[in-house]
Chains A and B, each alone.
Chain A
Amino acid sequence: MARLLIVDDERDIRHLYAAELEDEGYEVDSAGSGAEAAEKLNHQHFDLVVLDIQMKGESGLQLLQKIVKERTDLPVILCTAFSCYKEDFSSWLADGYVVKSSDLSELKREIDRVLKKKQS
């Protein structure tokens, strides 16, 4: 069973994602900040990170750079309200990119795609 880490500073978003993704059969943990996420990544195993960009404190893009640098095998999907982040070149490092929506099916599809790609 794949373990996912949800990183978002909005508590309700974390809860929503966790509930929905657990329904899909994933094991889900979450972090409310970049620092908390880094801490968890250091001590636990995850198969994929779903990462918000705009967060208080360390931004999602900063965390993304760290992850790509230290954990090259860990895929990251950026999930954000800002579609224009697509134009920030550091966001191009992510394996996937989803614009936040109340309909989580796109996020679910993207997670499935990235995990399958990683396995192959």
Chain B
Amino acid sequence: MPLGCCWNKETISPDECRFLRPGDDDLLFNRKKRFLARCLECPLFLEELRRLNGDPDSLPAFFFYAIEEILALRAEMHGLTQQTEARAREIRFLHEVSQILQTSVSMDEVLSLALTAITAGKGFGLNRAILLLVDKDRQHLKGHIAVGPRNREEAGRIWHEIESHDYSLQDMGQILREQKMAAEKEKFRDLLEIISVPMSRAEHLFIGTLNEQRTRHILNLWEEPGVDRRQAEVLGVGELLLVPLISKNRRIGLLLADNIINGRPITAEDAQSLETFALPVAFAIERASLYERLQEELGKVTEANNRLREQQELIVRMEKMALVGKIASNISHTIRNPLTIIGGFARSLLKHTPPEDAKRGHIESIIRESRRLEEVLQEVLSYSESLHPTFDWWDINQLITGVFAGMRDDLEMNRVACRFDLEPNLPKAKLDFKKISYCLRALVTNAIEAMPDGGEIVARSALQGERIHVELADNGPGMSAETIRTVTAPFFSTKDSGSGLGLSLCTRILDEHGALLDIASELGSGTTITIKFTIAREDDHGPLADR
């Protein structure tokens, strides 16, 4: 049978139509289906149609228009279907990534997933993605991480690895995070450093893109005036996509993406997809960084809490110890007098007992045992006393501010202002904290009382050679030379009330400490009292050690 057209046959055998394709079996027995599926594109059918069509005004002539239109519509539909499928794939992909992004508070997880999504073939399939983040102080846009092969060989290896394993996006993100993040950061360290830009450089392409909050598709980076030459060189690419990361109008960072390896042109669809993707990424980065800060703050609060608890425990312990001390003191008083009498008289008796007297042994026993009891007492007492060691190395500035803090009410009530001019980092001085505090308090009280209408006290500290000078200057009425001479004598006071113990006791205490007291005063121009402490050395036992 000559090979003719089979369009008008109800059924055909597979040999009769060479345009049938595998799987077209049902078309053999269905003329309508076969006609629509294959004949419209079959050259034999079209030849037959042309042959039947002698008259251009005949009806078959119009078939050509219809066939042309049908084929065009088909092609269009095919394209649309493909586009729809691509969109659906993209939506599925975005959905998958977004879900992870939305639930993650780990910065590393967010970043690794986002960068994987941009560079993986299953994602947007760009060759390289670089992320820059605005730093905490909002001073710099810093290169944070980059993902992608550095050269063609590496690209081949990576693509091969991905293809042979058929990883899911999430797997790839995880592999990046757990195995490659540090290496990627190291690999791109110089690049990340060079592309960092201060936020103040508004004319820079990166900062400009971020400020305008608009994606930019650069076709030739070498011709961009807003990029430093060095940066263009290290990026090593002409075509580049810049996508700003913005979360609620807050500038988070900038995403750079390119096809540095295969040179495939970046399409408008790439740009649009990445722009859409940037939204959840920016939001997730913002959230992860907030979470990191929250964790940091939480850590601080927890630490403060722990410290507070330790302090509380210490206070409770100290209160207990103070109670022990009090009890010990009371017992000591009750027991010490009788012990002194028993032991004392025994010693006295022994002195007057001749060596040969048999009673000496008995008396010696009394002395020995009472001494033992006294020793026990001393031990208990030195324990309770050691709980509050006051003679120690102290920071003089701390002592001064402590004294003034304790007298704040007094100062305020008497309208006396105080000012500090304390030299920082003074060496510590060995002194009796309580006694020197008492001295300073007494001197400040004197100054307050010398200024009944209020005034000012300036406290200064300074290192002068081998001594620390502490100066208290008031702007009261001052003293005459005569008054200064008598003022340090015991119980001098120009005041009607009070014992006048203050200044004389101060001189005594300062004497004990080997400290000097200077009084400079002039009637009408205030008084300046200077205490000059010696700086004791570590091996000094200090003036009070034997007391």
Q: How far is the CA of A19 from the CA of B349 in the complex (A)?
A: 11
Report if A23-B351 is in contact (Cβ < 8 Å); known contacts: A84-B385, A90-B501, A93-B505.
yes
For B345, the closest partner residue in chain A by CB is A16
* Interface members, chain A 10-66 (any B CB < 8 Å): 10, 12-13, 16, 19-20, 23, 54, 65
* Interface contact B340-A13, CB-CB below 8 Å: yes
Shortest C-beta distance, B505 to chain A (Å), equals: 6
Shortest C-beta distance, A70 to chain B (Å), equals: 9
Within 8 Å CB of A65, what residues of B?
Answer: 499, 501
Is B508 interfacial (CB 8 A cutoff)?
A: yes
Q: How far is the CA of A86 from the CA of B385 in the complex (A)?
A: 10
Q: How far is the CA of A65 from the CA of B20 in the complex (A)?
A: 129
* Interface members, chain A 88-108 (any B CB < 8 Å): 89-90, 92-93, 97, 99-104
Within 8 Å CB of A84, what residues of B?
Answer: 325, 329, 381, 384-385
Q: How far is the CA of A18 from the CA of B505 in the complex (A)?
A: 31
0/1 interface trace, chain B 346-365, chain A, CB 8 Å (1 if under): 11100100000000000000
Is A2 interfacial (CB 8 A cutoff)?
A: no
Q: How far is the CA of A99 from the CA of B340 in the complex (A)?
A: 10
Within 8 Å CB of A83, what residues of B?
Answer: 329, 332, 381, 385
* Interface contact B435-A100, CB-CB below 8 Å: no
* Interface members, chain B 195-248 (any A CB < 8 Å): none
Within 8 Å CB of A19, what residues of B?
Answer: 348
The A interface, classified by DSSP as helix, strand, loop or mixed, is helix
* Interface contact A68-B491, CB-CB below 8 Å: yes
For A20, the closest partner residue in chain B by CB is B348
* Interface contact B340-A89, CB-CB below 8 Å: no
* Interface members, chain B 336-350 (any A CB < 8 Å): 336-337, 339-348
* Interface contact B371-A92, CB-CB below 8 Å: no
Q: How far is the CA of A103 from the CA of B385 in the complex (A)?
A: 22
Report if A104-B501 is in contact (Cβ < 8 Å); known contacts: A68-B490, A72-B490.
no
Shortest C-beta distance, B103 to chain A (Å), equals: 64
Is A69 interfacial (CB 8 A cutoff)?
A: yes
Other-chain residue from B336, B371, B434, B509 in contact with A103 (beta carbon distance below 8 A): B371
Within 8 Å CB of A82, what residues of B?
Answer: 329, 332-333
The B interface, classified by DSSP as helix, strand, loop or mixed, is helix
Instruction: Bin the interface of chain A by size.
Output: 20 to 34
For A23, the closest partner residue in chain B by CB is B351
Given contacts A65-B499, A102-B367, 13 further A-B contacts (CB under 8 A): A12-B345, A16-B340, A23-B351, A72-B491, A81-B332, A81-B336, A83-B385, A84-B329, A87-B390, A89-B505, A99-B336, A102-B347, A102-B371
Nearest 5 pairs between A and B by C-beta?
A102-B343, A81-B336, A16-B344, A12-B341, A81-B333
* Interface contact B333-A54, CB-CB below 8 Å: yes
Shortest C-beta distance, B24 to chain A (Å), equals: 112
State the A residues within 8 Å of B (CB): 10, 12-13, 16, 19-20, 23, 54, 65, 68-69, 72, 81-84, 86-87, 89-90, 92-93, 97, 99-104
Within 8 Å CB of B340, what residues of A?
Answer: 13, 16, 81, 100-102
Shortest C-beta distance, B331 to chain A (Å), equals: 10
| Most chain A C-beta atoms within 10 Å of own C-beta, residue among B332, B340, B491 | B340
Shortest C-beta distance, B96 to chain A (Å), equals: 75
Q: What are 17 sample pairs from A and B whose C-beta atoms fall under 8 A apart? A: A20-B344, A68-B491, A72-B491, A81-B337, A82-B332, A83-B332, A84-B384, A86-B547, A87-B388, A89-B434, A89-B435, A92-B509, A100-B336, A102-B339, A103-B347, A103-B371, A104-B347
Shortest C-beta distance, B514 to chain A (Å), equals: 16
Is B16 interfacial (CB 8 A cutoff)?
A: no
Within 8 Å CB of A81, what residues of B?
Answer: 332-333, 336-337, 340
For B388, the closest partner residue in chain A by CB is A87
* Interface members, chain B 125-162 (any A CB < 8 Å): none
Within 8 Å CB of A23, what residues of B?
Answer: 351
Within 8 Å CB of B509, what residues of A?
Answer: 92
* Interface contact B505-A10, CB-CB below 8 Å: no
Q: How far is the CA of A64 from the CA of B456 in the complex (A)?
A: 35
0/1 interface trace, chain B 22-53, chain A, CB 8 Å (1 if under): 00000000000000000000000000000000
* Interface contact A16-B547, CB-CB below 8 Å: no
Q: How far is the CA of A65 from the CA of B501 in the complex (A)?
A: 9
* Interface contact B344-A104, CB-CB below 8 Å: yes
Shortest C-beta distance, A84 to chain B (Å), equals: 5
Within 8 Å CB of A16, what residues of B?
Answer: 340-341, 344-345, 348
Q: How far is the CA of A24 from the CA of B434 in the complex (A)?
A: 37
For B490, the closest partner residue in chain A by CB is A72
* Interface members, chain B 300-358 (any A CB < 8 Å): 325, 329, 332-333, 336-337, 339-348, 351
Report if A93-B385 is in contact (Cβ < 8 Å); known contacts: A68-B490, A82-B332, A86-B547.
no
